[in-house]
Amino acid sequence: MEILIDCEKLRSRRVFNDYLEAVMDLPAYFGRNLDALYDVLSTVNGGAPCHFRIINREKESSRMVGHYNTFLQMLEDVHDFNPNVTYSIEPSQEKQEKE
């Protein structure tokens, strides 16, 4: 499973959590916070691969900077427990075109 996290579009925690619920088929007990996401990801799909592709990090909302930093740390922590959970941070298309 690949999950696209577009930091430019996911500009609030509510929108971020709504998006995750829509694309990840999260269980009913999902608590809409990063601790709950950690719990889900540590046992996701019985160990099936789950990759988060993060784009437009440089365009994230200023109110989401701390949340995205914590989200990335949580992904690193959960990867230690479940190595099938991975992520990549990709530069925006606009930035790639300028280079």
pLDDT, tens digit (0-9, with 9 covering 90-100), for 40-91: 888 765 567 899 999 988 888 887 888 999 999 999 999 998 899 999 999 7
Write down the pTM of the prediction: 0.82
Distance CA 23, CA 80 (A): 23
If you average pLDDT over residues 17-34, what whole number do you get?
88
Confidence label for 3 from pLDDT (cuts 50, 70 and 90): very high
* Residue-range domains of the chain with CATH: 2-98 (3.30.370.10)
Distance CA 17, CA 15 (A): 6
- pLDDT mean across residues, the chain: 85
Answer for the pair 63, 22: CB distance below 8 angstroms, yes or no. Answer: no
What per-residue confidence (pLDDT) applies to 47?
63
Residue 34 Cα distances to 83, 91, 93, 98, angstroms: 18, 24, 28, 34
